[in-house]
Amino acid sequence: MIALVTTHEARGHDKDLGILSRALDACGAKWEIVDWDDQTIDWSQFDIAVLRSTWDYYERLGEFLVWARGVGARTRLFNPLDIVQWNVDKRYLIDLAQASIDVMPTTFVSRARDLDALDLSRDVIIKPAVSAGSNNTARYVGDAAAARAHIERIMRTSGVALVQPYQSTIDTLGETGLVYLAGSFSHAFGKAAIFGVNDPRHNGLYMEENITARVATAAERALGDRVCRCYKIDLASIRCMRASTW
């Protein structure tokens, strides 16, 4: 039995769940869609639990990580707890940079003196270190006062803010996502730009995004492979479902 893990508010919004459940039916697998915070669930009844759309985790991070640890002790959690813990905080970018992986130039701000040293007159993206669905994320173009106020709000509520230069190439090329299963490349997808100058804030349970099929370039594949090789988690040791079951 497979647990497809979501949250109550996401029901009806995770379009991939229908695709996944039909694929599981086709290969004869039993499955159930369950809410991560449903305290009536006996997680030991499942052979694996797959994190699908637990989109409110960032609002209840401590509770979510306690839950993930408990579920990981009762069944096989995908992704495993170590990966989840590492990935929920965007300060993983520091680890990647230290491993000589090219990442977006990022300044992490948690103290007033760090904020005072920033040049916020540029075109910048500001977001919390822990967030999802582009919540509390905004783009500021030459509005240093508003950008500073946003960072101060994040520091008061979340503790750590990220400041990144906006990459204008995203407006035309979008982003490329690479999917790896058990450390092996599976497929790529394209994602269109989210932040336009006149539409700078996006808050809600999730983002409606323009996702398309994409063929990864050789350079993108090489970068993805390097990230997997330097990952602190031993990805090769993680057993994943066959791609045909997704």
95: confidence class by pLDDT, cuts 50, 70, 90 = confident
Structure tokens at 170: 């995203």
d(CA 81, CA 72): 7
The string of pLDDT tens digits covering residues 74-89 is 999 998 898 899 889 9
Structure letter (DSSP) for residue 243: G
Domains of the chain with CATH codes:
2-88 (3.40.50.20), 92-167 (3.30.1490.20), 170-237 (no CATH)
Decide if 101 contacts 230 (C-beta within 8 A): yes
> What pLDDT does 203 receive?
56
Residue whose pair of structure tokens reads 């497929």 in the numeric block:
187
d(CA 37, CA 207): 22
Q: How far apart are the two ends of the chain, measured CA to CA in Å?
A: 15
User: Distance between CA atoms of 17 and 92, rounded to whole angstroms?
Assistant: 28
**pLDDT digits over 7-61, tens only?**
999 998 888 899 999 999 999 999 999 999 999 999 999 999 999 999 999 999 9
CA distances from 175 to 83, 169, 203, 212, 220 (A): 22, 9, 20, 10, 11
In this predicted model, which residue has the larger pLDDT, 63 or 239? Answer: 63
d(CA 235, CA 219) in angstroms, rounded, equals: 21
Higher pLDDT, 135 or 186: 186
Number of helical (H) and strand (E) elements in the chain, helices listed first: 8, 12
Q: How confident is the model at residue 230 (pLDDT cuts 50, 70, 90)?
A: confident
